[in-house]
Amino acid sequence: MKLVEPYQSVDEAMKELDNGGRFYNLWTKADDGVISSAELAKVAGIFSDKQKMVLYLQMAMCKLSADQKTSIIANLEDSLKQSFGDHKVEAILNCLPTTAMELGKNVMIKGTPKQIESKSDFNGFIMVPIMTGSVTTFSMIPIIDQYEVYEIRSETDEKFTLAHAKGAHLPEEELIVGGVIKELKASKNDDEAAKFFVEAVYYAKAK
């Protein structure tokens, strides 16, 4: 999970984004007025996942005006513009109910996270792949075994579950968290209706 420092101007954004990519991106030029996938991947801290590239870009632009965002998006290379259209988040949510969620989509949620540290305080399961030779099977495990789990609350006290890989912890202050919507089960019963959680990828301070 990566902390994003939102841009304050178009000039700042272009200076960081139009960066020439990594050292092995020989055909990508810095300061040429075009933001390539390789350049965006570099600042996003990833390599080829365009869905997460788009999420990073939107997180980094979250404090700019609509006109400023449009100006930056206009400088994306054509394939990246297409990816932006496919994966963009329409609006930052204030912990909206799960009925507004769509599995596998990017989302940005604003609120204050509170970590859940005990299995007795939270009951939820996720499906994980298990490799045995050339055979892949799936098993349900408690989400708290695999992730750091949080309850994130909005100013209106709406709440939602988010999680990220074990390691660093989110600060308990108002944040904008960007991630991907994943499935969450209340028990190991396959017939039970699934809920959702956000697998957090990026976060930024809301203020």
Digitized pLDDT (tens) for each residue of the chain, 207 residues in all: 899 999 999 999 999 999 999 988 988 999 999 999 999 999 999 999 999 999 999 999 999 999 999 999 999 999 999 999 999 998 888 776 555 578 899 999 999 999 998 776 677 888 777 777 787 877 888 888 889 999 998 777 778 889 998 888 899 999 999 999 998 887 776 666 668 899 999 999 998
Eight-class DSSP state of 193: P
What are the helix and strand counts (H, E) for the chain?
Answer: 6, 8
pTM over 0.85: yes
Query: What CA–CA distance (Å, rounded) separates 114 from 112?
Result: 7
Give pLDDT, residue 100.
59
Residues 6 or more apart from 41 whose CB is under 8 A from it? Answer: 21, 22, 47, 48, 53
Closest CA to 14 of 50, 39, 41: 39
Give pLDDT, residue 183.
87
Residues 6 or more apart from 70 whose CB is under 8 A from it? Answer: none
Q: Which two tokens stand for residue 57?
A: 């870009």
Q: Which residue has the tokens 């420092």?
A: 5
Give the dihedral sign, CA 102/104/107/111.
positive
Q: Are strands 195-205 and 2-3 parallel, antiparallel or unpaired?
A: parallel
Give pLDDT, residue 121.
61
Give pLDDT, residue 88.
95
Q: Phi and psi of 24, rounded to 5°?
A: -90, 0
Residue ranges and CATH numbers for the domains of the chain are: 2-87 (no CATH), 98-205 (2.40.50)
Give pLDDT, residue 205.
95
Give pLDDT, residue 192.
62
Query: What CA–CA distance (Å, rounded) separates 191 from 98?
Result: 18
